[in-house]
Amino acid sequence: MTQLGLTDAVRDVIRRDLLVALRRRADALTTVVFFVIVTSLFPLGIGPEPAVLRMIAPGVLWVAALLSCLLSLGRLFTTDYVDGVLEQLVLVPQPLTVLVGAKVAAHWLISGLPIVLLAPVLGLQYGLGGDVLGVLTLSLLLGTPTLSLIGAIGAALTLGVRGSHVLIALLVLPLFIPVLIFGAGAVTSYIAGIGVEANLSLLGACLMLAVVLAPWATAAALRIALE
């Protein structure tokens, strides 16, 4: 038997969560199906006017992505908390902040990445062209990990609390606002012929800030939840 290090622990946390998600496909699919349905309802409800659809597309796609992320946050730590796996994770002789980061990465792979990949396809319903879809994908690629990281703080803070789903929404939705503004703003700017660099840079800055602060805050909240 050989000793394993931090990299192995990170890989194992991600692998375990992906394997569980694979066995429990319905949970993972709920998020994706929700995103597809919400984004498909708007063109049906508003009508086929291309100019209107192009105008609302960035906001609709981004709000749908944000709500899909919110939908999946309740599962991030709850099952681990209930079955005792979280207790074991906290006792792993590795920095909890890094392990939390691994769990958030797994969450993004399960619920964020499918949204990033589906968004360009769903964007076609709104008459978005190739370049705009590229900007949309890039903005979601930068923004959805930030949503997962911020959401993890809310999920950890509300762990074990009755009605935690509502509480998570109340806690994290205000924090999602900058990501929504910069994400949707990047796509809107491109459609309007304005440069997208500022919005994408700010999205990147949000991601960097979240990568540094969110795992630390989440780990602290998890320790408190387990006391």
Partner 1 sequence: MLDVVNLSCQRGERRLFSGLTLSVASGKLLAVSGENGSGKTSLLRMLCGLLPPEQGTIRWQGTPVGELGESYRGQFTYIGHLNGLKDDLTPLENLQFAARLAGVEATEAACREALQAVGLGPQIQRLPSGVLSQGQKRRSALARLWVSMRPLWILDEPFAALDDAATRSLTRRLEAHVKGGGIVVASTHQEIGVAPEFMQQARLAG
Which residues contact partner 1 (rule: CB under 8 A)? Answer: 1-5, 8-9, 12-13, 15-16, 19-20, 23-24, 79, 82-85, 87-95, 226-227
Closer residue to partner 1 in complex, CB, 56/226: 226
Give Cα separations from 80 to 88, 89, 164 (angstroms): 9, 9, 15
Other C-beta atoms lying within 10 Å of the C-beta of residue 56: 14
Q: Which residues neighbour 186 within 8 Å (Cβ) at sequence distance 6 or greater?
A: 58, 135, 138, 139, 196, 199, 200, 203
* Shortest Å, Cβ 148 to partner 1: 20
CB contact at 8 A, 69 and 61: no
Nearer to partner 1, 5 or 50 (CB): 5
- Minimum CB separation of residue 12 from partner 1 in Å reads 5
Q: Kindly tell me which of 48 and 223 has the beta carbon lying closer to partner 1.
A: 223
Cβ proximity to partner 1, 161 vs 198, nearer residue: 161
End-to-end CA gap in the chain: 33
Least distance from partner 1 to the Cβ atom of residue 83, Å: 6
Q: Alpha-carbon distance 19 to 5, whole Å?
A: 21
CA 76 to chain centre: 11
Radius of gyration of the chain (CA): 18
**What is 137-179 written as a DSSP string?**
HHHHHHHHHHHHHHHHHHHHHTTT-TTHHHHHHHHHHHHHHHH
Torsion of CA 208, 213, 113, 122, to 10 degrees: -70
* CB 215 to partner 1: min, Å: 16
Looking at the Cβ atoms of 99 and 202, the one nearer to partner 1 is 99
Which CB sits closer to partner 1, 61 or 102? 102
Least separation, in Å, of the C-beta of 114 and partner 1? 19
Residues 6+ apart with CB under 8 A from 137: 116, 119, 120
Query: What is the closest distance, in whole angstroms, from the C-beta atom of residue 186 to partner 1 in the complex?
Result: 38
